[in-house]
Amino acid sequence: MSGAIRVRFAPSPTGMFHVGGARSALFNWALARRSGGRFVLRIEDTDEARNRPEWVEGIISALAAIGISDQDPVFEGPYFQSHNAEAQREAARTLHAQGRAYYCDCTREALVERTGSQQLGYDGHCRDRGLEHAEGRALRFRTPDTGVTVVDDVVRGRTEFPNNAMEDFVVARGNGTPVFILANAVDDIRERITHVIRGEEHLSNAPKQQLLWEALGAVPPVWAHLPVIVNEKRQKLSKRRDKVALEDYLAEGYLPEAMVNYLMLLGWGPGDDVEIRPYAELEERFRLEDVNKAPAAFDVKKLAAFNGEYIRALDEDAFVQACQRWLTAPHAPWEPEAFDEAAFRAVAPLAQTRLSVLSDITAYVDWLFLPEPPEDEASWTKAMKPGAEEILASVRRRWAEVDWTAEALKADLEAVAGEQGLKLGKAQAPVRVAVTGRTVGLPLFESVQVLGRERTLARIDAAAARLAAQDA
């Protein structure tokens, strides 16, 4: 095969963008860019009952989010399968005229009656009946009676499919419309696709498509079937059971760069132990021949670890900007006017080191913008042990006059801990819950410094009053 490499990504607009599709798109994109070829986006939109325009827009926007868009000269399209209907019909007519396909009026019921089985494939009953085109008659491809169809797959190696084990498959329906397998082959040929890189679940279609390419006078593409993606239980990712939509991960606060990095490593590796690296390096190292055929595990915990690394690498302005959607209405749990960007910037570096997904930011800073600390009964019960009232009272007296810096605040609480014969961690627990509502969170003294003396003392007073009411 000569000429520039041309790959294609051909999703159907029938739902949200699957992470497996995103992985396939990225592998195609990397090969096209690294080789100086072209990446063709083709929307396979012939399933009118399930297609929706918003899903088309969703595909395009999801691809753009992971860096695949028409802003790059490598990109071509989007093309639409429905626009090629006449070429697909003409291909069906050509196959019939050449004797490579024949019309069939068999019903499923008639087939079962002849074979006595629901399981057997088509028995070739109409092969030599010489039926002409008529409404209700499907067009079937005449598979060879002998020999094998060899699919040389870059990932899976050489696979032989005995021709006598393949039934004469339908290429056009009784109403004349081509089925997917023919439409797919015709579009690939028209778009001069040289490499078909797709999920392993399509491998069973490859011999049929290869026969169609050859019957239509074209040289079959280079095949590469990517390993199936499985969950932590080694089950194939399923939208009914697993979170699989790329949009859901992005909406939760996974950075696009982290998603790209992680997805590129599902079934392929750069050949060293470095996993966190920019896309440009991944693209440069990508080799289709290095893709594994073993199932690739989608580990959400590992993805979160990747994302945390990318979050920590953001500069201050980029981090603040990335958090905006969760800090402002309608996503934030506080009133819009309560948000103070200067206050957030003061605690942002403390939160940035702790986040694995951006949506967790509200749980780290809600105490700062809510009028009262969030209620967490488990934290209250754990921290407000006997002696908590004395700790709060002592801290309150000291903090009423202390120089309002993290260092001074900590020194005063250490002094209170010493008076009570406690370690600092034990002494600060009731203070943390009184001020922030939770037993865990950002460093206490830096947080208290940002919250301010007036609001901090008011919260300590409120906690002390609640304790007194409990004891009454």
Q: CA of 445: how far to CAs of 187, 419, 457, in Å?
A: 64, 19, 13
Which tokens hold the place of 11?
Answer: 């999703």
Choosing from 208, 233, 236, 239, the catalytic residue is 239
Q: Say if residue 106 carries a ligand binding annotation.
A: yes
Which tokens hold the place of 256?
Answer: 């696009």
Q: How far apart are CA 162 and CA 35, in angstroms?
A: 34
Q: Say if residue 128 carries a ligand binding annotation.
A: yes
**SS3 category, 102:** strand
Q: Say if residue 104 carries a ligand binding annotation.
A: yes
Q: Residue 102: left if φ>0, alpha if ψ -120 to 50, beta else—which one?
A: beta
- Residue 245, φ and ψ in degrees, nearest 5: -80, 125
| Residue of 92, 89, 109, 112 whose CA lies nearest to 101 | 92
Q: Which residues contact 404 (CB under 8 A, 6 or more apart)?
A: 449, 452, 453
Quickly tell me which residue has 């392929």 as its tokens: 268
Annotated catalytic, 423? no
Asked if the bond preceding 220 is cis, omega within 30° of 0, the reply is: no
| Residue of 50, 208, 225, 227 whose CA lies nearest to 142 | 208
List binding-site positions: 104, 106, 126, 128, 239
List binding-site positions for Zn(2+): 104, 106, 126, 128
Catalytic residues: 239
List binding-site positions for ATP: 239
